[in-house]
Amino acid sequence: MENEQSKSNKINWKSVLIGVIIGAILIGFGVLIWFTLQPKPEESTPTPTTRTSTTSAQKDETAPLSTFYNLTCGQTQIYTSIERGLKTPDKVCFLNLELDGLTQFPPELVRFPNLKVLFLHSNKISKIPDNIDKLTNLVELSLNHNEISGLPNTVSKLSNLRRFDLSNNKLTGLPAAIGEITSLENLILRDNQITSLPSEVGKLKNLTQLYLANNKLTQLPSEIVNLKKLWLLCLENNNFDKNEQTRIKNLLPITEVYFETCPGGE
């Protein structure tokens, strides 16, 4: 009887031991699978970078700061100094010179034949040179927060320009040549002193967004009726009377026109 009980106890202990071993193995596999399924740090999705003002030392040379950057420059490097770019001028696609204390449009820019995205905002530039027509590959040009009071007629040669930001400058008007940049999709002119627009604005057949808030406009040219792709028009803080507001809305029946706060306005 004792021998049988002893054998039974041994069998029970063996069963327990086997169960413990199997359990440990299963737990080990479970932990291994859990770690395997965890995302690796380098594979995590980066947080999108927003367009914010930075000092020169804070500029990120890899973050996609531009509206059209990924479409035009791919994953090429973002240059933040002219000197560095001049070492390999053919490779410069995106040049970010914001907050550089510039008082003039850098003449060296014409030496970058493949420049497509140019940030010059938040400087003290007062004039755009006539030879800007050499930058024919530009897709996006940001000149906001400068002291620019006028545009040269040669801007008409920027035949690939899709986004043009001239907000927060000292513009009182635009040249008729602006109508020749038919590639334009976004034109940002808010916070200037513009009193009127040329009728040639109606030639901007690809324009989808037009920002004119905080100017001195009293009317818009009838030719805006030709802006068939325009879906957003921001006009808050101008001098339109009720009749002109009604007229504008009638000219652009399918466009979202805002005479007060423009949602998401640039």
DSSP annotation string for 176-232: GGGGG-TT--EEE--SS------GGGGG-TT--EEE--SS--S---GGGGG-TT--E
Predicted confidence at residue 77, as pLDDT, reads 84
Domains and CATH numbers, the chain: 71-258 (3.80.10.10)
Predicted confidence at residue 265, as pLDDT, reads 61
Residue 185: name the closest of 136, 133, 234, 227 by CA.
227
Rounded Cα gap, residues 153 and 141, in angstroms = 16
Predicted confidence at residue 20, as pLDDT, reads 57
Predicted confidence at residue 195, as pLDDT, reads 98
Distances (CA, A) of 27 to 30, 54, 148, 178: 5, 50, 69, 70
Q: Half-sphere exposure of 149 toward its Cβ, with a 13 Å CA cutoff?
A: 1
198, 175 Cβ separation under 8 angstroms: yes
Helix (H) or strand (E) holding 258: strand 256-258
Q: 205: which 2 tokens?
A: 């057949």
Q: Per-residue pLDDT for the chain (266 aa), expressed as one digit of tens each?
A: 545 555 555 556 566 556 656 666 666 555 454 545 454 333 222 333 333 333 333 433 333 346 665 667 876 789 999 999 999 999 999 999 999 999 999 999 999 999 999 999 999 999 999 999 999 999 999 999 999 999 999 999 999 999 999 999 999 999 999 999 999 999 999 999 999 999 999 999 999 999 999 999 999 999 999 999 999 999 999 999 999 999 999 999 999 999 999 986 66
Rounded Cα gap, residues 168 and 165, in angstroms = 9
User: What is the pTM assigned to this prediction?
Assistant: 0.76
